[in-house]
Each structure stands twice: as C-alpha cells, then as structure tokens.
Amino acid sequence: MNKVICVFSSSSNTIDNIYFDAASKLGREIAEREDLLLFGGGHTGLMGACARAVHQNNGKVIGVIPEALNLKGVVYENCDELVVTKGMRERKAKMDHRSDAFIALPGGYGTLEEILEIITLKQLRYHNKPIVILNINGFFNHLLEQFETVIHQQFAKSICCDLYYVTDDVADCINYIENYSPMVFEERWLTDVEKQ
C-alpha cells in the first residue's frame, strides 16, 4: 500500500450520472495505484460508488461510520475494515488522523463541512497533508468564488489558496497527491499582530 486517501462525498442516489462516473473512476485510480480508500462508510451515493470501484479493482477500503448510521442498507458492509464511532465528531477525527491525503468529490452539507474543516486544520498547522477539491462538472465553482471573496476582502491571506489544489481531472488529482511537497508556512501565518 502507498497512501491512505480519504474521500469526502455525497450519499445521494438522485444526482447526475456524471458524478457517479467520476466517483467510480476515482475508486479505480486509487486501487490501481495501490493506495487505500478511507471514506465515510456509506453504501449509497458517491461513497458507495467509489468504494465498489476500489473493490472491483482489487483495492482495499476502510469505512468510518457513526453508530447511528451503522444500519443495513446505509453502511457499506463490504469494508475491509469498518470503524464505528460514537458520533460525527469522533468519526471526523478518526478520518483525519488515519489519512495521508484528502479529496472532496461533490456532495451536500456534510461534504462541504468536512472539506472546510480539513482546510482550516491545515491553515492552523494541525496537519500538512495534500487536499484536493475535485471540481467535477463545475460543482464547486461558487464555493471557490466565495474563497476568492474571503481573500479579496482580507478575511484570509492570499497564500491560503495554496492550502488546497483544484482540478476536474481524476488522474491529475491522484498525481498531485503522489507528488505533493508539504507546505512551508510563513512565520506570521496565523495573525498579523506583531510579537510583543
């Protein structure tokens, strides 16, 4: 195995097939490069599609799911390892700790919350791992515009753009992770206040 790659994504089955195709391609790419998928443990939506593609290509899957969602028809029961947590916060902490890299596929509120938190944790130097926003079909365009507004209005520094990488190409996404060099943080990363 090379890297443990955490994928945040949707659990919806009602979305366009273009997203399912991307999730399946990502799962295949992860398996073919002998990386390991870590995900939210769901059976449905892009989560399930990505996990099934990993298994169809002889890869390994770790699911992390809160006990309230560990239900037949909800959980992906074929996980090579299934970690059941008390709640959502513990779930995210386990996913963060065990992963070498993070990818956001399109998703709903949970996916957006996960990718924003992992970017924030990197900004605050809790980790220095690669983060990729996989912008399939322009799904994240408005979020990325909001990021630009945050920087333009000086709520964050322009270097924050380097915290994550944006692409709409699955192979490029994995290549970025494989070739990632950890960021070098500026001394005055967290604040503009002068030292006393």
Question: Tokens 């770790």, residue?
Answer: 62
What's the whole-model pTM score? 0.93
The pLDDT, as a whole number, for residue 183 is: 83
**Sequence letter at residue 92:** K
The domains located in the chain, with CATH, are 4-178 (3.40.50.450)
Is residue 123 within 8 Å of residue 160, measured between CB atoms? yes
Distance in angstroms (rounded) separating the CA atoms of residues 180 and 176:
6
Q: Is the dihedral of CA 46, 19, 177, 51 positive or negative?
A: positive
pLDDT band with cut points at 50, 70 and 90 for residue 193: very low
Asked if pLDDT for residue 79 goes beyond 70, the answer is yes
Cα separation, 110 vs 95, whole angstroms = 14
pLDDT in tens, 32-76: 999 999 999 999 999 999 999 999 999 999 999 999 999 999 999
Which helix or strand (DSSP H or E) is residue 55 part of?
helix 45-56
The whole-angstrom separation of Cα 24 and Cα 45 is 11
Q: How confident is the model at residue 190 (pLDDT cuts 50, 70, 90)?
A: low
CB 42 within 8 A of CB 140: no
C-alpha dist (Å) from residue 47 to 81, 107, 119, 153, 180: 15, 10, 20, 35, 24
Determine phi and psi for 167, rounding to 5 degrees: -155, 160
Q: What is the pLDDT of residue 185?
A: 76
